[in-house]
Amino acid sequence: MKDQNFLTENNARHMWHPMAHPAEMQANPPRVIVGAEGVRIKDIDGHETVDAVGGLWNVNLGYSCKPVKQAISEQLEALPYYSTFRGTSNDKVIELSYMLREFFEPDGLSRAFFTSGGSDSVEICLRLARQYHKIKGSPGRIKYLSLMKGYHGTHTGGASVNGNANFRTQYEPLLPGCFHVPAPYTYRNQFDETNPERLSALCLRALEEQISFQGAETIAAFIMEPVLGAGGVIPPHPNFMPGVREICSKYGILLIADEVITAFGRTGGWTGSRLWGVKPDLMATAKAITNGYFPFGAAMVSGEIAEVFESDSTGNAMIGSGYTYSGHPVGAAAAVACLTETFRLKVPENAAARGTQLFEGLKKLKLKHGVVGDIRGGHGLMCALELVSDQASKKPVEKETAAKIYEATYNSGTMIRISGPNIILSPPLVSQATDIDQVLTSLDKGLASA
């Protein structure tokens, strides 16, 4: 490793960081993380913290997952790369596809299309949805519907269905034919409705109205996260996703579940769709599929869609999409080892138990700290605190206050993620009770600094 002076002098000088202003990064260089063990990370100054961000919702099994590290290094020796474009495959990706078929059977998904990450998986799902309708003889079904506040990655298709202006405005015009409906976000919504069940019904009605306004015969798919993540952890009422499923089926619209963060245990269910008892038509996955150790993802396809593609004799089902790294053997080996370990550890059980501990602790912090306007969670290890400068008016907190809370929380032993007015918490799913206690203690100190 280069020495500390070199790293400090060159930090953020020659690279642009994602989701950040380059000038701001130069003025306030990011923290340099140099090591990690278990659920803890260590920075260049030797300061250690619990990682309550879990990498970026992806290091579900922590930083010391030997089977995945070993699988990667062994695969690098055996076959470091070969393409899966028409004509060639590899042993690991075949094994993984078999494993995913078994894992996703309860979700009704039977085919995988491999990608290099979440944005790629979303893009493939969007594309396959349009192609499905073309094969079926409905080429006019080209539009996409999605939720305001939803996050679907940063490719142009994904950004077009994204429900947050921060990820859209500077890149407009985006894809035409994308329309948004209100999310079941009880703390702030256009209906001023705080009751989750009533709000869910209102949002479902808005969805149906949008469909009838656009014309169902023009809509390819509706995409949603089972629990909205990056938009501030917004768990819907349990009847929301089943309601969406019903509406989509009624109008022949495909349902894409964006499970880039929720697949493989994060919500306390094996998938977010399964948590709500819903079978989507397509599902985007990535992140925890390799525990974040290798960039990889899978777009999953339902049995019914697979049947339409596989029985096509016109040639229209030829898949004109693919990435150089689709089915990368090292990624596939990492995923096989990661999923084996994920099943062995039964991580959703721990995610549910530790998630409850975290959410209950956050409820106490809300009572104690006026800067906390809302807390959200209750479904596994994904929680958020929405910060306000005044609880009554719900005025969002100043950026400087959020930064102060972040610093104080970090200094007292926990890495958190600030996103707009939200603190987002997504610790590894193998976190122990003492780790969650540490997160809560650090947050208590952080919030007190506001």
Ligand X SMILES: Cc1ncc(COP(=O)(O)O)c(C=O)c1O
Minimal distance, residue 262 CB to ligand X, in Å: 8
**155 or 237: whose CB is closer to ligand X?**
155
**286 or 381: whose CB is closer to ligand X?**
286
**248 or 286: whose CB is closer to ligand X?**
286
**100 or 260: whose CB is closer to ligand X?**
260
Decide: 148 and 155 in contact? Cβ < 8 Å.
no
Burial class (CB in 10 A: 0-12, 13-18, 19+), 45: exposed
Among candidates 208, 157, 146, which has minimal Cα distance to 183?
146
SS3 content of the chain, % helix, strand, coil (to 5): 45, 15, 40
Minimal distance, residue 22 CB to ligand X, in Å: 19
The three-state secondary structure class of 43 is strand
Minimal distance, residue 404 CB to ligand X, in Å: 25
Q: Which positions touch ligand X (CB under 6 A)? A: 117-119, 122, 151-153, 225, 229-230, 258, 260-261, 286
The three-state secondary structure class of 266 is coil
Q: Which two tokens stand for residue 229?
A: 């993540």
Show Cβ contacts of residue 101 under 8 Å, excluding neighbours closer than 6 positions. Answer: 110, 111, 112
Minimal distance, residue 381 CB to ligand X, in Å: 14
Minimal distance, residue 112 CB to ligand X, in Å: 16
Q: Which residue is nearest to ligand X (CB)?
A: 118
**261 or 351: whose CB is closer to ligand X?**
261
Minimal distance, residue 113 CB to ligand X, in Å: 15
**292 or 355: whose CB is closer to ligand X?**
292
Sign, CA dihedral 46-50-52-53, equals: positive
The torsion region of residue 103 among left (phi > 0), alpha (psi -120 to 50) and beta comes to alpha
